Amino acid sequence: MLSERLEADSLEELEQLLEGCQRCPLWSDRSNLVFGSGSRDAQLMFIGEAPGRAEDAKGLPFVGPAGRLLDDLLAGIGLTRSEVYITNVVKCRPPGNRDPLPEEMEACHPFLARQIELIEPKIVCALGRVAAGSLLGKTVQMSRIHGTRLNGDGYFVVPVFHPAAALRTPSSMSALEEDFRNLKKYLQQEEVAPKTVSREEPEQLELF
């Protein structure tokens, strides 16, 4: 993934940088760009794949049926939306609700990466296969990795089934509920994820 560094010291500045973004073709069909919402100090951050029709209309993430299920799942572990942060891998709606293309995710990745840096969550929960693959940088098999705690860059990545998939496939609903209980357990653990050593650090160390 592209590791472009964006000049934004706050979520507000980052959102301003995104205004009118035309870095990938998804800009042409959007009604509203969906930046994200929630607590800027969230310990738990959720990342879905892309805005859908309802999100595009309102400019907010997870406002349709999948969003209502997400609210219920959060309530089940004693949390509300205002205590977490929710966004997507891409900030504009793909036509026909298709998966975002690799080049679209690549174009939008610097914004997501900076969002994560600014919020500094303990856990990033990837909602669905596309978000999990984007965060982990590889194709994933959700049936194998859902609910597990994996190392990100200074945060843990926990992939879970997408709420929309659970609504379509009731058999994955109980797995999703169990994975949310795991999320609560992971949040309560004191352990923090290791941060990847940047390429500059070894050079700095040699100076001393």
Q: For binding to ligand SF4 (CB under 6 A), which residues are involved?
A: 18, 21-24, 26-27, 33, 90-92, 104, 107-108
Tokens of 176: 């999703």
Shortest gap between Cβ of 162 and ligand SF4 (angstroms)?
Answer: 18
Closer residue to ligand SF4, CB minimum distance, 71 or 106:
106
Nearest Cα neighbor of 35 from 8, 68, 70, 2 is 8
H or E stretch covering 81: none
Closer residue to ligand SF4, CB minimum distance, 50 or 124:
50
Q: What separation in angstroms does the CA of 208 have from each of 11, 188, 197?
A: 35, 38, 17
Shortest gap between Cβ of 92 and ligand SF4 (angstroms)?
Answer: 3
Residue 61 near residue 36 (C-beta atoms within 8 A): yes
Closer residue to ligand SF4, CB minimum distance, 2 or 192:
2
Residue 144 near residue 129 (C-beta atoms within 8 A): no
Closer residue to ligand SF4, CB minimum distance, 2 or 75:
2
Closer residue to ligand SF4, CB minimum distance, 6 or 27:
27
Q: Pairing between strand 123-127 and 44-48? A: parallel
Residue with tokens 């800027």: 40
Contact residues for 4 (Cβ-Cβ < 8 A; gap 6+): 110
Whole-angstrom Cα distance, residue 208 to residue 203?
A: 10
Shortest gap between Cβ of 104 and ligand SF4 (angstroms)?
Answer: 6
Shortest gap between Cβ of 109 and ligand SF4 (angstroms)?
Answer: 8
Shortest gap between Cβ of 90 and ligand SF4 (angstroms)?
Answer: 4
